[in-house]
Amino acid sequence: MWRVLRGGGDMWRLLPLLGALALAGGATFAPNKELLECASQILYMDQQSYQIPTNYNRNIPPAKNTTVHIGLNVIRVSGVDENKEEITLDVFLQVSWTEPRLHMPPGLAFLDLPWEFRQLIWTPDLYIWQLQTMKLQSVLQEMASLRLYSNGTVSVSIGATITIKCEMDFVLYPLDVQNCAIDFSSYKYTLQDVRFEWREVETWHGLAGSQRNEFRLPKYVVTFVTDKSNHYHNFGEGKCIFIALRLCLRLYLT
């Protein structure tokens, strides 16, 4: 049984030992894999121990019809490319679900886990249908966090820049209005296994304090709203049905 301490010195002293053990067994492993295997045994955060149950299976959802809550805050509309039919957004995404198989150490309200720890637990297979590219924002480190709460809730928060494909129609130019749908869903679980729900997050007020439900660009005004109705995607002649959450963007020429 190994342990990882928050202090950097202990972690670096542990790496050569892990490397030696791997070579002794006739196999080599990347340092990240070694640390993850070590963390899967036992993880110490602020001297509080956390251990994944031995019978835990990260490939199985926590329960039937697991509810995954999604909150999305659009921070900035970076640009619109009419030629490529793309729109680029800076967003703050929050995804949370209940995981009764994981238990908190006593006396803690929540525990911040290393971002790499998500590879050891079940996470939703979130799929964005119109997504072209996605890049996590970073300064000194990536803007991403993984937190476990005492009530069993697992919360993932990330800041990212995303580029979305939007089919545009310029027949009515310059009076055209472009409607862009952004659909969030699972890519392998059906509605009997996992379902997604919007979770309202406070609208970003910006530096001036005014609400930002619209963004003005040199050529466009972009507004957005979450669509609370269900949108179904069928595969295999209707054998697999996915419920999608939809964010609707509207682009007006100025």
All domains of the chain, ordered by start, with CATH?
Answer: 8-50 (no CATH), 66-253 (2.70.170.10)
Q: Where are the beta strands (DSSP E) in the chain?
A: 43-45, 48-50, 66-81, 86-98, 110-113, 126-128, 131-136, 144-149, 153-165, 177-186, 194-198, 214-216, 220-235, 240-253
Q: How confident is the model at residue 26 (pLDDT cuts 50, 70, 90)?
A: very low
Per-position b or e across 86-113, b if 16+ CB within 10 A of its CB? bbbbebbbbbbbbbebbebeeeeeebeb
pLDDT for 153 equals 94
Least confidently predicted of 7-11, 102-106, 116-120: 7-11
- Kindly report, residue by residue over 213-223, the tens digit of the pLDDT: 778 888 878 88
Q: Which one, of 99, 26, 36, 250, lies nearest residue 11 by Cα? A: 36
Helical axes 31-41 vs 8-24, angle rounded to 10°: 100
In this structure, what DSSP letter does residue 130 have? Answer: T
- Kindly report, residue by residue over 140-155, the tens digit of the pLDDT: 888 999 999 999 999 9
For the segment 238-242, the average pLDDT, to the nearest whole number, is: 56
pLDDT for 237 equals 52
Residue 104's region, left for phi above 0, alpha for psi from -120 to 50, else beta, is beta
Looking at the predicted structure, is the pLDDT value of residue 65 above 60? yes
